[in-house]
């Protein structure tokens, strides 16, 4: 059996700009590309500084790491894979950011980590499993978002999610393979 080489991740903005990290090449891992992250964090520029973030289905953790690099106050990284969570923890230690983060090995659906204080939630689950709509419904039920919170979603173009009642697209775009955007809940908008 051959092992796949590690995935190279590059932080593209903020205090750790140009830092290159390596993540294990776990099955199904699909890190958000530099191009998508650049667009996303341009959209989030007015709100990311001081934000409390959650990188659900974290995988490599690149979205949460990028948020911390750009001034987010904290980030909770959640993934079902203990290997992924361990790698994220090592990145946080190497970046001297372990005091701003929490790493949780859990299925996102359990939501035992959720608090009512998430300002920016990153939802980028594995494609083709119906997890995005399920996660949006769970977030809606739990009310774990702060007022004016934003939720980033990334999805396979063949399966644009149906949003829960009261949610709407604040921004959205697509590449040849991936759709992505920021969602807000009209019940949370001040």
Residue 30 has what pLDDT? 84
The domain of 94 spans: 7-185
Q: pTM for the whole thing?
A: 0.93
116, part of any domain: yes
Residue 189 has what pLDDT? 53
190, part of any domain: no
79, part of any domain: yes
1, part of any domain: no
Q: Evaluate if residue 11 carries a pLDDT over 60.
A: yes
d(CA 91, CA 9) in angstroms, rounded, equals: 11
d(CA 19, CA 78) in angstroms, rounded, equals: 22
145, part of any domain: yes
d(CA 152, CA 121) in angstroms, rounded, equals: 6
Give me the CATH number covering residue 55.
Answer: 3.40.50.150
Residue 2 pLDDT class (50, 70, 90 cuts): low
98, part of any domain: yes
Domain count, the chain: 1
Higher pLDDT, 6 or 153: 153
121, part of any domain: yes
pLDDT (tens digit per residue) in 51-109: 999 999 999 999 999 999 999 999 999 999 999 999 999 999 999 999 999 999 988 76
Contacts for 190 with CB less than 8 Å, ≥ 6 apart: 147, 148
SS (H, E, C) the chain: CCCCCCEEEECCCHHHCCCEEEECCCCCCCCCCHHHHHHHHHHHHHHHCCCEEEEECCCCCHHHHHHHHCCCCEEEEEECCHHHHHHHHHHHHHCCCHHHEEEEECCHHHCCCCCCCEEEEEECCCCCCCHHHHHHHHHHHHCCEEEEEEEEEEEEHHHCCCCCCCEEEEEEEECCCEEEEEEEECCCCC
């Amino acid at each position: 059996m051959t092992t796949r080489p590690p995935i190279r991740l590059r932080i593209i903005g903020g205090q750790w700009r140009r830092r290159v990290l390596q993540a294990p090449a776990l099955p199904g891992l699909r890190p958000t590309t530099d191009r998508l992250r650049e667009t996303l964090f341009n959209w989030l520029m007015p709100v990311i500084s001081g934000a409390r973030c959650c990188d659900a289905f974290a995988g490599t953790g690149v979205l949460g790491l990028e948020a911390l690099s750009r001034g987010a106050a904290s980030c909770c990284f959640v993934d079902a894979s203990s290997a992924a969570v361990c790698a994220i923890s090592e990145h946080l230690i190497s970046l001297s950011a372990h005091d701003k983060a929490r790493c949780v090995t859990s299925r996102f659906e359990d939501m035992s980590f959720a608090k009512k204080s998430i300002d920016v939630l990153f939802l980028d689950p594995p494609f083709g499993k119906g997890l995005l709509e399920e996660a949006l419904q769970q977030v809606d039920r739990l009310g774990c978002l702060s007022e004016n919170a934003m939720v980033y979603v990334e999805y396979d173009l063949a399966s644009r999610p149906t949003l829960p009642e009261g949610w709407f697209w604040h921004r959205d775009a697509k590449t040849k393979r991936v759709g992505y955007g920021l969602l807000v809940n009209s019940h949370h908008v001040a």
